[in-house]
Amino acid sequence: MSKSAKLIAYFSRAGENYSSGGIVDLPVGNTEVAARIIQKLTGGDIFRIDPVTSYPQGYQEATEVAREELHRDARPALSVHVDNMGDYGEIYLGYPNWWGTMPMAVFTFLEAHDFSGKTIVPFCTHEGSGMGRSERDIGRVCTGATVSKGLAIRGSLVSRAEKDIADWLGKTK
């Protein structure tokens, strides 16, 4: 495999979520929908960032667990890691905006691998806060990596975002 191979690594939580002013029950999380579109358009490999302990299905409970993890600067354990990270030159990193940044499980993922010399291309789904402070946080954790301009997609519009994603991918090349 060439070093320029692409990896799409994402965290996404299916279940109850807040969307356009109400609560919806998502069978597939919004970030996963975006990750699959990116996978289709780039032909990269796809990897799910999967915490050992799942987040609650209920929206309210999930926000409480996430807030507590953020305050504690927690690093939730992951069930699996990428053992061939050396093969990839470009990593599309996807996550929902949780309390203004990435879920703490994404910090666990970033700290578990060496991204120096690689390009990280962030994408995020959200309900109003955009990328928040996530790009800065990625740059802080992944020393030696180049962090490209990310794409923020409103979660409730993700199924209609293919054109925006394709345009953005054109600019990240």
Binding site for ligand FMN (CB under 6 A): 12-13, 17-18, 26, 29-32, 59, 62-63, 66, 96-100, 125-129, 155
State the minimum distance, in angstroms, from the CB of residue 115 to ligand FMN.
22
Please name the amino acid found at residue 166: A
Q: Which is nearer to ligand FMN, 32 or 135 (CB)?
A: 32
Alpha-carbon distance 27 to 45, whole Å?
22
**Which 8-state DSSP code applies to residue 150?**
P
Q: Which is nearer to ligand FMN, 31 or 108 (CB)?
A: 31
* Structural contact between residues 158 and 125, judged by C-beta atoms closer than 8 angstroms: yes
> In angstroms, how far is the first alpha carbon of the chain from the final one?
19
Question: Of all residues in this chain, which one has the CB nearest to ligand FMN in the complex?
Answer: 155
Q: Which is nearer to ligand FMN, 18 or 172 (CB)?
A: 18
Please name which of 25, 46, 21 lies closest in space to residue 123, comparing C-alpha atoms. 46
* Structural contact between residues 35 and 155, judged by C-beta atoms closer than 8 angstroms: no
Q: Which is nearer to ligand FMN, 113 or 154 (CB)?
A: 154
State the minimum distance, in angstroms, from the CB of residue 117 to ligand FMN.
29
